[in-house]
Amino acid sequence: MNTNPSRRRTLQAAGAAALAAGLSSLTATAAHADGTADGDTAPEPKLVTYPIPSGVATQASFKVRVRTAPDGEWQTLSCYAPGTKEINPTTGSGKVWGSSMVYFDFQGSVEIEVTYLKGGTTKARVRPDSLGIKPELGGDTLVFTLDEPKDVVVQINDEIFDCLHVITNRVEHHAPSADDPDVIYYGPGLHTIPGDILYVPSGKTVYLAGGAVVIGQINFKQTEKACLRGHGVLVPRGNVGGVQLTQSKKIRVEDVILLGNGLGCWEADGGLVKKVRVFTWGQWGDGLPLYSSKNITYDGCFVRSSDDSHSIYAHRGEWYGDTRDITIKNATLWADVAHPVNIGTHGNSDDPEVIENLVIKNVDILDHREPQLNYQGCIALNAGDSNLIKNIRIEDVRVEDFRWGQLLNFRVMFNKTYNTSAGRGIEDVYIKNLTYTGTHANPSLFLGYDADHAIKNVTFENLVVNGVVIADTMRKPTWYYTTDTVQWYVNEHVTNLKFLTTAEARAAAAS
């Protein structure tokens, strides 16, 4: 690692050169740091765009323009070229398809114009559906508006792979200085980390400016109170890439875009991963894997992954210890392979561990495709390796129709491919305001292993499937299980499973 002054000056010079070449288009009058001019109550409209550095792959399926609404000057955006993965269920082989991604910063409102260059457009969709965005479509061009930064996916003719992923940020007002000795600064342009891995010292900030593309890995190994931030892009060299929080403490990672590799936590204690965007398309392409870590919050992340989007485990390999106090909130997840959220597979059969105190809240799940029954479930609680999973809260999760899999898979298991023992159990799970709209879901499974390795105390409040609230008191034949109404299966090693309406839950809490 080289963080000497001459390196900082070189990176700063690269950034200045890129800016001089027309890096950003800024449409605004003079404004305060908070984005408001004297006497204004609303932020002054502003838009910042970034060219893709020479030498970085681009995709040419879409022409994309953006302007401040309603009548700013149009800015044309080039598209990055993330991959997307498809597994062949007959051969098991994987094919990588090309896809598209743009990003920019704004405040106020922006109008986005997207033209599908392959032609033949009959319909267009902007996801997540929960945002309620209805684009105006004319020929092969669609237009829609964003009133605040959101990450969305534009699909043409239900195309799964070559979608347009639109990533947006708020305009930055307090970027660090390239001359700050506590900052490792990557300005706009293409950079390669010497030796492929940057080990970040404690107390340092790594900054990827908008328009920067950095090749390599950023590793917080045994690091405390450090940060990675900025609106730039990190790309791996081969398998060496992404961000690693390795036996670290109190690390913050914010806003960066990870193309081709994810962000992993390994015996990490204390971390905020905020508005990190992850695209993976390789084998074992978990987006945000976590092992034996605690006190980690993921807030506002977008993940499109070629394996689990979130994987939360205890021991594996050289990492040991319980996993606890993990929060996933305000997320958008798309798993081209495996699970959007997978919890509990790996642990320590010799010295059993606990995975506990997890919150999953305000999440949009856009897709899930997994041919293997063992690895299905938009949200999977799969206790193996003597793990005990307990105290899980899942709230305000919206699941759109997915290609292949199950809505939920709760299972105490002994998967001999990955486990050396059965899990100890799953206990105390509360699921509130889970909605699924679609027709492709296989039956969800709730399977205890045996009487001593059971699932206990799972409560659903306001479960809504295709507009119907599923509750134990709903109208049905008296001899039907509640799960029969949604064609889910529960075995005899599941106890105290409840389905409540919101009113029933409130009455129970008040009694």
Residue-level pLDDT at 18:
41
Residue 80: which domain range? 45-170
DSSP structure class, residue 493: T
* CA–CA distance, 161 with 115 (Å, rounded to integer): 17
Q: What is the mean pLDDT of each run of 10 residues along the chain (511 residues)?
A: 39 41 37 41 82 96 96 96 97 96 98 98 98 98 98 98 97 94 98 97 98 98 98 95 98 98 98 98 96 98 98 98 98 98 98 98 98 97 98 98 98 97 98 97 98 98 98 96 97 98 94 85
What's the pLDDT score for residue 384?
A: 98
Q: Looking at the structure, do residues 266 and 149 belong to the same domain, yes or no?
A: no
- 432 CB-near residues (< 8 Å, 6+ apart): 393, 394, 395, 396, 460, 461, 462, 505
pLDDT at position 239 is 86
The residues pairing with 327 across neighbouring beta strands, listed in sequence order, are 297, 359
**Tokens found for residue 498:** 């409840």
Given a contact cutoff of 8 angstroms between Cβ atoms, the answer to whether 159 and 140 are in contact is: no
The per-residue pLDDT for 42 is: 60
**pLDDT value of residue 44:** 80
Indicate whether 126 belongs to any domain: yes
pLDDT attached to residue 420: 97
**Residues comprising the chain, all counted:** 511
Q: Token match 């809260």: residue?
A: 393
Considering the domain architecture, whether residues 392 and 270 belong to the same structural domain is answered as: yes
* Residue 76 and residue 114 in contact, taking contact as beta carbons nearer than 8 Å: no
Q: What is the pLDDT of residue 511?
A: 85
Residue (of 218, 108, 231) closest to 174 by Cα position: 231
Backbone angles phi, psi at 14, to 5 degrees: -60, -40
Domain of residue 66, CATH code: 2.60.350.10
CA–CA separation, 353 and 314 (whole Å): 7
Single-letter amino acid, residue 293: S
- The per-residue pLDDT for 4 is 40
Torsion of CA 19, 82, 338, 471, to 10 degrees: 60
Instruction: Report the distance separating Cα 339 and Cα 45, nearest Å.
Output: 39
The Cβ of residue 117 has, within 10 Å, a number of other Cβ atoms equal to 9
Asked if 154 and 267 sit in the same domain, the reply is no
Asked whether residue 286 falls in the same domain as residue 387, the answer is: yes
Query: What pLDDT does residue 15 have?
Result: 44
Structurally, how many domains does the chain consist of? 2
Residue 214 lies in a domain: no
- Radius of gyration for the alpha carbons in the chain, expressed in angstroms and rounded: 23
- With respect to residue 197, please indicate whether it lies within any of the assigned structural domains: no
The DSSP-derived string for 139-151 is TTEEEEEESS---
- Kindly state whether residues 165 and 289 are assigned to the same domain: no
Q: Running DSSP on this structure, what letter comes out for residue 374?
A: G
* Domain end marker among 146, 170, 194: 170
Same domain? 151 vs 280: no
Q: Does 476 map to a domain?
A: no
Provide the pLDDT for residue 504.
95
Residues 159 and 274 in one domain: no
pLDDT, residue 16, reads: 39
User: What pLDDT shows up at residue 34?
Assistant: 40
The pLDDT value given to residue 43: 64
Q: Which residue's structure tokens are 């945002």? A: 131
The answer as to whether 390 is a domain residue is yes
**pLDDT on residue 21:** 38
The DSSP code sequence of 435-459 is EEE-S-EEPPEEE-SBTTB-EEEEE
Last-in-domain residue among 170, 190, 206: 170
Q: Are residues 278 and 166 in the same domain?
A: no
Assess if residue 232 is contained within a domain.
no
Same domain for 453 and 306: yes
Which of 109, 139, 170 is at the close of a domain? 170
Q: What is the 3-state secondary structure (H, E, C) of 58-112?
A: EEEEEEEEEEECCCCCCEEEEEECCEEEEECCCCCCEEEEECEEEEEEEECCEEE
**What residues pair up with 464 in beta bridges, in sequence order?**
435, 469
Q: Which amino acid is at 367?
A: D
One-letter amino acid for residue 444 of the chain: S
- The verdict on residue 223 lying in a domain is no
